[in-house]
Structure 1
């Protein structure tokens, strides 16, 4: 039985050298033994390197620039802005390094992109407030993101010809708040209206479907207590990445159901900072969870992926390295039975 290991995406640092060090850690720990190496993100390099900026840099059909309050659509529908070009250039630079280091690699790889609902809850309209307030704008954003995702996956497949598969991870940390009507308005005195599940699912279907059409396996990452597992899987996610410590009773049941149905569940069990548990303690934690939900490790083990609880951008460099070492070690121990 092979239990796989990977990371959520982000690493600490604030320079290109830090990106290269993060990539060395990722490849050193995850490019063998069933690991899924990924293109690391180092958001400390600035807004164009963070999740929102990197994703907007990939989107060629909408124009956005940086304001003191964050990213905002310009409404000009012309060429990408200077800020977008900087973000796109940084992604291309990172991919150049990734391509060079993966020249002789054969196996799966993973890349991460912010999801349509997290972007809608983060990016502002030209005249203020979030895109979430405008039905047409959020629809346009999701459709533009779908095009960008297809292009991104195709680029990764071209750059890493030895890839036996590409996982497209859609980061949706804001999705539960969007569904619950809990995203604050610009004034801070109100909340944006609830987005109902059918609309939320449709936007996700466009983006996840574009990933599939481009030849990728679509996963969604959402480290929240109320991950809408059924909605994500219904929209086409074939893998869901969760923080095991945050899941409630319904989340545990939904994760078990997904594994039984043949989908992937990435269990975030390795802490992102502070004192690190032993390999043995983490292995036992996963085994106890499988026992609690009534699943046989020998049956579902190959659909389990071990990850850190969330991204590692806020961790010390030594902790980020140790967390990556641990996910590999825990996965290997679980696979050995």
Structure 2
């Protein structure tokens, strides 16, 4: 394994700590930011609050970041438009308020921003003439270029509010495995869009990674995460739902092993994102990570140098009480990784 101490992303991408994934319950962004930065001090993130309604959802939030591609909410979906619709303007306002909430915390350590990735956005954003952007590889290329430019501005806006912070950006790609396998439904629901070739997916994601200007984490909480592809995009960390990986699933375990053996950084989703507080969750979370590590035969002292702990996915559907408990459990699980 390479020496991670010389990695220039070390400050922005800490390991052996607890962090979050993205969404939180509630509608008050100032309160949510204070909770996340208080409960996850070693690696907080700017939370998303989809309970605020249309425009705070993952697709609406991501679509408003597109540079030069206006969107609107029409017929129960987001679509490309000639001018930004009212709901798109609301989404932009939500994002501006979220960024302004960062003024108050004035962080000087690592902070992660989150946004939808190009393939999940393309699978859920409609063209003017109908059908998802994913149906047209040229449209996906245009969307990716637009998103990369918008994300660069997003990072710049966040940095201006926290000049001392070491920023990273998380791309949420739950639809990526389905896009690669040709399993994204068309608007009729009776057919599927053609699959995205691996080399096209690699090129588009690499374009975003290269242009945003900060280290990138790719998050995918779906089964069949394309670990090798994501590594080849230049993303500096991978965030997955580790509870979906069975230790007897040799191909999946081997893929993670190759990634980690090459020095890859992993955010392991092991704390349930929903549920009720109960004793033992932190121990179970740490045990799952250590079980993978032991199965791979890696040295125990390297574990906290490459792996951090999170919930399995976002916590928008959780109660506020459980969300706090889950973050506390994540901190305890991370402490256990240090032995």
Q: TM-score, normalised by structure 2?
A: 0.91
Q: Does 1:238 align with 2:251?
A: no
**1:296-311 counterparts in 2 under 5 A?**
296-311=299-314
Q: Which segment drifts farther, 241-250 or 312-321?
A: 241-250
SS of 2:38's equivalent?
helix
Question: What is the rounded CA distance, in whole Å, between the counterparts of 2:250 and 2:198 in structure 1?
Answer: 21
| Superposed CA offset, 1:221-242 (max 9, x none) | 0012200011111011111101
SS of 1:241's equivalent?
strand
**2:57 — aligned with what?**
50
Confirm or deny: 8 A CA contact 2:15 2:265 kept in the other structure. Answer: no
SS of 1:27's equivalent?
helix
Q: Which segment drifts farther, 169-178 or 252-261?
A: 252-261
**2:117 — aligned with what?**
115
What is the aligned counterpart of 2:37 among 5, 9, 27? 27
Confirm or deny: 8 A CA contact 1:114 1:171 kept in the other structure. Answer: yes
**1:5 — aligned with what?**
18
Q: Does 1:263 align with 2:264?
A: yes
Q: Which segment drifts farther, 151-160 or 105-114?
A: 151-160
Question: What is the rounded CA distance, in whole Å, between the counterparts of 2:103 and 2:255 in structure 1?
Answer: 37
Deviation at 1:187, TM superposition (A): 0.8
Question: What is the rounded CA distance, in whole Å, between the counterparts of 1:56 and 1:189 in structure 2?
Answer: 26
Deviation at 1:311, TM superposition (A): 0.7
**2:317 — aligned with what?**
314
What is the aligned counterpart of 1:293 among 271, 283, 296? 296
Q: Does 1:279 align with 2:277?
A: no
What is the aligned counterpart of 2:91 among 80, 84, 87? 87
| Superposed CA offset, 1:97-121 (max 9, x none) | 1222x22x32100010100000110
Deviation at 1:151, TM superposition (A): 1.2
| Superposed CA offset, 1:106-148 (max 9, x none) | 2100010100000110001101111111122111101100101
Confirm or deny: 8 A CA contact 2:293 2:303 kept in the other structure. Answer: no
List gaps (5 residues or longer) in structure 1.
none
**1:170 — aligned with what?**
171
Confirm or deny: 8 A CA contact 1:2 1:332 kept in the other structure. Answer: no
List gaps (5 residues or longer) in structure 2.
1-13
Question: What is the rounded CA distance, in whole Å, between the counterparts of 2:122 and 2:300 in structure 1?
Answer: 38
Confirm or deny: 8 A CA contact 1:178 1:194 kept in the other structure. Answer: yes
Question: What is the rounded CA distance, in whole Å, between the counterparts of 1:30 and 1:274 in structure 2?
Answer: 19
SS of 2:331's equivalent?
helix
**2:225 — aligned with what?**
227
SS of 1:58's equivalent?
coil
Q: How many residues align?
A: 321
Q: Does 1:185 align with 2:182?
A: no
Question: What is the rounded CA distance, in whole Å, between the counterparts of 2:57 and 2:15 in structure 1?
Answer: 33
Confirm or deny: 8 A CA contact 1:29 1:324 kept in the other structure. Answer: yes
Deviation at 1:283, TM superposition (A): 2.1
Confirm or deny: 8 A CA contact 2:54 2:87 kept in the other structure. Answer: no
Deviation at 1:84, TM superposition (A): 2.2
**2:101 — aligned with what?**
97
Aligned structure 1 segments of 4 or more residues deviating by more than 4 angstroms: none
Question: What is the rounded CA distance, in whole Å, between the counterparts of 1:250 and 1:157 in structure 2?
Answer: 40
Confirm or deny: 8 A CA contact 2:303 2:337 kept in the other structure. Answer: no
Question: What is the rounded CA distance, in whole Å, between the counterparts of 2:17 and 2:287 in structure 1?
Answer: 16
Q: TM-score, normalised by structure 1?
A: 0.91
Question: What is the rounded CA distance, in whole Å, between the counterparts of 1:230 and 1:272 in structure 2?
Answer: 26
Deviation at 1:2, TM superposition (A): 6.0
Question: What is the rounded CA distance, in whole Å, between the counterparts of 1:174 and 1:267 in structure 2?
Answer: 19
**2:67 — aligned with what?**
60
**RMSD, matched Cα:** 1.6
SS of 1:47's equivalent?
coil
